[in-house]
Chains A and B, each alone.
Chain A
């Protein structure tokens, strides 16, 4: 400016100077404006942008804890974890990339694509569809081998990554599928997995994942996961394996002999503690199928009647009449009711009550026998008569305030009620008494009385329709009555009595241990509190124990135990052959050993498997050989 004042230039120069001043002001104003905007963004607006940045940059993810192992009493792992590799894809991966993934892993493109579909969307397949958090990378090939995983990683396809996943594995020889149950979505869904889910699951940790726009991320674990506890069980893996194999062989043998043998159970308990040593169910299935989701087809297989409904865990979920195994309880009931164990009872081929003929099923006529003999040879007619006499004593049809000794005693042995075993889904069964018959009648009579009038027009077989109508008419007229036949059938474990194999095992444990109704348990080696004492005198129990010891020597199971070292390891047993309307008989074998100082209870049943001794006896024998280390 000084030059301008001292040496005034031409007008052009003045214009230039003026316009340059304007430019200087403009530069300053724009600079200040931008600076002001910057200050505003970084002070007043900063909290808002910081919150938005945090939402974009970070992402709290759950860190799954390792699921606890389930081990047997010796620490052998029944259910453990292994690391599986899976290929995961971002949701927007194109078909060409998926095709490359399929090629690298040797899988079908359609299978890979099926896993991209979110469950519930059109075309989604249960067990295959994606059930996780939407927007997260989805597994498209599960359980790939290490070479395939490496190949995918090296290919470095966009939106494709390799992840590890913990998958349940079953390293022991035992199958135990129904006992262990399964895990889906990280949650135990059945069996021990469900019962002890909380402890097994552990506590999930948290990780803060810092994302970048390229999709890569680094995770910082902010809270470490707590691994699930190891569940020690009372199961003995070897005994479990033997029980499973013996049961399968028994089923196969029965089928060779023309029986359907639709399913079976083995229960092995410690007589004093109720600890479950083994519990097998047939048919079973491969538990590994749950690892990556079960398809519709697989699920149908698991629940289908024709495949024997492998998902049903029969020891606690299959109901059947206990048949002759019930006679031990009838014997105790008779003693409770005052019948003399010192005298003899007639064992004819049949008894006739009210014009109805009740025949011996398993045994022949023996003439006069002691109660003990009646038990070991399983003479039905002796027990029919006992049942009838006790029914008469209760007042017959009237039965106001009846003692109902048989039902009451059997119930005190835990039959017809849940045992409280530490497994979900246990069923109760029932032993109907007078009150229950009445209640049932009140509920059903309207239906039956209507049918008594209208018949069964929808039934195509006229003979069957006629029979059904006759039954409806009878039931309508006298269904509320607790008839002599009901009492007699109950006495031999038939009729409407329904129990589970585990209930029978619990009842026999009480006989074996001197009257304590133990609570069967698996989840720990500590004793679970017992369910109290059974309704039996020590003398009565001793009497029954001694009688049952004869079964394997001279009674119904002598054939199945021929050649077994009974002097060293005496086995007390009761066979049973339950009759179920319209089906082949259910084979039962309830036992404990050593008979003089019982340690183990072994109960076997095979649905539609024929005679108790022939089909189920050998299974029990195989289990005892394993338990006592006997080489056959």
Chain B
């Protein structure tokens, strides 16, 4: 009898979806190799060990896998505690970067300096915790009512408030890219949570109005506007932002089908592409590993996202929303990064999840992977 009244939790298996792990680990290892390829030359020229950045990236990967293991093991109450604590710490961090504690890199005040030459980017972690909170709050009601109705307006408002605080602080840095990614992730959660279509349309429309207003009032920095105009006309400013895109396209274009080979890409080894070990690492993939490597990276990425969505499909309401949020976050960020590398989208300065160099980015992405693996256990 218990079988009939039991919720679907009964069909739980202990095994996670191994494809998610394979895709994430492959992307991470390709990332370490590409970080080495894009940094060793400059390090040697400066008299530093050639593996400095690659070893650090490897260390970030280990920390990320450990973080993934931790979140994988947490039960729902502990996840709630982690979400609230992490969200609060993220807000504190996002406030701190705006104080003199923060460091400005390339016009964005997004980093906190840690001892040992490490920096922390609170925005990367904020995305995980916002998604976690949204999934928890919106599934709470759905769980009670069996997901029959759209989520309660109170929960939606709470989610919007929590998101708005993060996005607002991100815009103050200003970090347009992370703000958009955060919005996209939350939007994805609201969408799958069953929020009415007209509400979503209203939300999107108000977002567009805010963006236009920000542009008109001049709240955006000149460089952000320049990035957009450079996207529209990459050849217009070959020495400025357009330069970055042009060099990335040249690097990718010279890769051909089979690529120049790891450490062999002349454009990459000549360091013509700025930020080629962070935001533009995909240009190095394109040049050195060619179409085969480039399509492989896209394929692994899409595999990770699709298996995440598959997990979402078969999960309980909380798992569904959590996996959706993480997939939407990774998809928005990853596709934006890949899109700007191949000249399809404007430059907004977001890293390619798991692949680009950066401790906060790698660890946060692996936390996301850990949560996806956790959700995938319920098949």
Given contacts A27-B309, A27-B327, A38-B291, contact A16 B250 (CB under 8 A): no
| Chain B residues whose C-beta falls within 8 Å of the C-beta of A581 in the assembled complex | none
Q: What's the least CB distance linking B329 to chain A, in Å?
A: 12
Complex Cα–Cα for A1 and B339 (A): 32
CB < 8 Å: which of B11, B188, B252 contacts A42? B252
User: Which of A15, A43, A216 is packed against the most chain B CB atoms within 10 Å?
Assistant: A15
Given contacts A12-B146, A20-B320, A34-B344, contact A56 B272 (CB under 8 A): yes
* Contact of B313 with A212 in the complex, beta carbons under 8 Å: no
* Contact of A31 with B294 in the complex, beta carbons under 8 Å: no
Is A33 on the interface with B (CB-CB < 8 A)? yes
* Contact of B327 with A23 in the complex, beta carbons under 8 Å: yes
Q: Which one of B99-107, B147-155, B209-217 is at the interface?
A: B147-155
User: Which of A1, A11, A210 is packed against the most chain B CB atoms within 10 Å?
Assistant: A11
| Chain A residues whose C-beta falls within 8 Å of the C-beta of B267 in the assembled complex | 53, 56-57
Is A19 on the interface with B (CB-CB < 8 A)? yes
User: Which of A23, A50, A212 is packed against the most chain B CB atoms within 10 Å?
Assistant: A23
- Place the interface of chain A in its size category: 35 or more
Q: Which one of B60-68, B117-125, B189-197 is at the interface?
A: B189-197
| Chain A residues whose C-beta falls within 8 Å of the C-beta of B270 in the assembled complex | 57, 210-213
Is B305 on the interface with A (CB-CB < 8 A)? yes
Complex Cα–Cα for A33 and B314 (A): 27
Is A437 on the interface with B (CB-CB < 8 A)? no
Given contacts A12-B147, A41-B342, contact A20 B266 (CB under 8 A): no
CB < 8 Å: which of A9, A27, A46, A216 contacts B306? A27
* Contact of B193 with A27 in the complex, beta carbons under 8 Å: no
Q: What's the least CB distance linking B231 to chain A, in Å?
A: 14
* Contact of B250 with A27 in the complex, beta carbons under 8 Å: no
For chains A and B in complex, what number of residue pairs have CB atoms within 8 angstroms?
Answer: 151
Is B34 on the interface with A (CB-CB < 8 A)? no
Is B371 on the interface with A (CB-CB < 8 A)? no
| Chain B residues whose C-beta falls within 8 Å of the C-beta of A567 in the assembled complex | none
Complex Cα–Cα for A62 and B271 (A): 24
Chain B positions 252-305 with a Cβ under 8 Å from a chain A Cβ: 252-257, 266-267, 269-272, 274, 286, 290-291, 294-295, 298-299, 301-302, 305
* Contact of B266 with A210 in the complex, beta carbons under 8 Å: yes
Given contacts A20-B324, A23-B328, A39-B291, contact A49 B8 (CB under 8 A): no
CB < 8 Å: which of A9, A41, A43, A214 contacts B147? A9
Complex Cα–Cα for A42 and B343 (A): 13
* Contact of A37 with B342 in the complex, beta carbons under 8 Å: yes
* Contact of A30 with B194 in the complex, beta carbons under 8 Å: no
* Contact of A43 with B148 in the complex, beta carbons under 8 Å: no
Given contacts A42-B253, A46-B254, contact A28 B339 (CB under 8 A): no
| Chain A residues whose C-beta falls within 8 Å of the C-beta of B145 in the assembled complex | 10, 12
Q: What's the least CB distance linking A57 to chain B, in Å?
A: 5
* Contact of A43 with B257 in the complex, beta carbons under 8 Å: yes
* Contact of B309 with A49 in the complex, beta carbons under 8 Å: no
* Contact of B8 with A3 in the complex, beta carbons under 8 Å: yes
* Contact of B309 with A20 in the complex, beta carbons under 8 Å: yes
* Contact of A34 with B298 in the complex, beta carbons under 8 Å: yes
CB < 8 Å: which of B305, B306, B320, B338 contacts A34? B338
Is A74 on the interface with B (CB-CB < 8 A)? no
Q: What's the least CB distance linking A628 to chain B, in Å?
A: 65
Complex Cα–Cα for A111 and B58 (A): 52
Q: A41-55, CB under 8 A of B: which get 1 and which 0?
A: 111011011101100
Is A83 on the interface with B (CB-CB < 8 A)? no
Complex Cα–Cα for A24 and B331 (A): 11
Given contacts A7-B8, A27-B305, contact A38 B295 (CB under 8 A): yes
* Contact of B255 with A28 in the complex, beta carbons under 8 Å: no
| Chain A residues whose C-beta falls within 8 Å of the C-beta of B286 in the assembled complex | 38, 41-42
| Chain A residues whose C-beta falls within 8 Å of the C-beta of B148 in the assembled complex | 10-12
Is A466 on the interface with B (CB-CB < 8 A)? no
Complex Cα–Cα for A20 and B290 (A): 32
Q: What's the least CB distance linking B367 to chain A, in Å?
A: 20
Q: What's the least CB distance linking A32 to chain B, in Å?
A: 8
User: Which of A1, A41, A210 is packed against the most chain B CB atoms within 10 Å?
Assistant: A41
Among residues of B, the one whose C-beta sits closest to the C-beta of A15 is B194
* Contact of A17 with B313 in the complex, beta carbons under 8 Å: yes
- Place the interface of chain B in its size category: 35 or more
| Chain A residues whose C-beta falls within 8 Å of the C-beta of B41 in the assembled complex | 212
Q: What's the least CB distance linking A90 to chain B, in Å?
A: 15
* Contact of A212 with B271 in the complex, beta carbons under 8 Å: yes
* Contact of B271 with A213 in the complex, beta carbons under 8 Å: yes
Chain B positions 110-157 with a Cβ under 8 Å from a chain A Cβ: 142, 145-150
Is A464 on the interface with B (CB-CB < 8 A)? no
* Contact of B257 with A41 in the complex, beta carbons under 8 Å: no
Is A13 on the interface with B (CB-CB < 8 A)? yes
CB < 8 Å: which of A10, A24, A39, A211 contacts B146? A10
Complex Cα–Cα for A11 and B146 (A): 9
| Chain A residues whose C-beta falls within 8 Å of the C-beta of B194 in the assembled complex | 12, 15-16, 19
CB < 8 Å: which of A1, A34, A53 contacts B342? A34
CB < 8 Å: which of A3, A16, A46, A49 contacts B193? A16
Chain B positions 161-208 with a Cβ under 8 Å from a chain A Cβ: 188, 191-194
Complex Cα–Cα for A46 and B256 (A): 6
Given contacts A15-B194, A20-B320, contact A30 B45 (CB under 8 A): no
| Chain B residues whose C-beta falls within 8 Å of the C-beta of A216 in the assembled complex | 45
* Contact of B150 with A12 in the complex, beta carbons under 8 Å: yes
Is A165 on the interface with B (CB-CB < 8 A)? no
Q: B225-269, CB under 8 A of A: which get 1 and which 0?
A: 000000000000000000000000111111111000000001101
Is A35 on the interface with B (CB-CB < 8 A)? yes
Among residues of B, the one whose C-beta sits closest to the C-beta of A58 is B266
Q: What's the least CB distance linking B44 to chain A, in Å?
A: 11
| Chain A residues whose C-beta falls within 8 Å of the C-beta of B271 in the assembled complex | 212-214
Complex Cα–Cα for A33 and B338 (A): 11
* Contact of B344 with A212 in the complex, beta carbons under 8 Å: no
Complex Cα–Cα for A33 and B343 (A): 12
Complex Cα–Cα for A412 and B349 (A): 88
Given contacts A34-B335, A38-B294, contact A16 B272 (CB under 8 A): no
Is B73 on the interface with A (CB-CB < 8 A)? no
Complex Cα–Cα for A50 and B257 (A): 13
CB < 8 Å: which of B253, B272, B327 contacts A45? B253
Given contacts A12-B194, A37-B344, A38-B294, contact A20 B313 (CB under 8 A): yes
Complex Cα–Cα for A431 and B314 (A): 116
Complex Cα–Cα for A621 and B270 (A): 69
| Chain B residues whose C-beta falls within 8 Å of the C-beta of A52 in the assembled complex | 250, 253
Q: What's the least CB distance linking A24 to chain B, in Å?
A: 5
Is B79 on the interface with A (CB-CB < 8 A)? no
* Contact of B324 with A23 in the complex, beta carbons under 8 Å: yes
Q: Could you jot down 16 A-B contacts, CB within 8 Å?
A: A12-B147, A13-B147, A23-B188, A23-B328, A27-B305, A27-B309, A31-B298, A34-B338, A37-B343, A38-B291, A41-B342, A41-B343, A46-B254, A46-B256, A49-B254, A212-B271
* Known A12-B145, A42-B291; further 9 A-B contacts with Cβ < 8 A: A11-B148, A16-B317, A19-B191, A41-B252, A41-B286, A50-B253, A53-B250, A57-B272, A212-B271
The residues of B with any CB-CB pair to A shorter than 8 Å are: 8, 11, 41-42, 45, 142, 145-150, 188, 191-194, 249-257, 266-267, 269-272, 274, 286, 290-291, 294-295, 298-299, 301-302, 305-306, 309, 312-314, 317, 320, 324, 327-328, 331, 335, 338-339, 342-344
Leading 6 A-B pairs by shortest Cβ distance: A49-B253, A12-B147, A31-B302, A212-B270, A10-B148, A42-B291
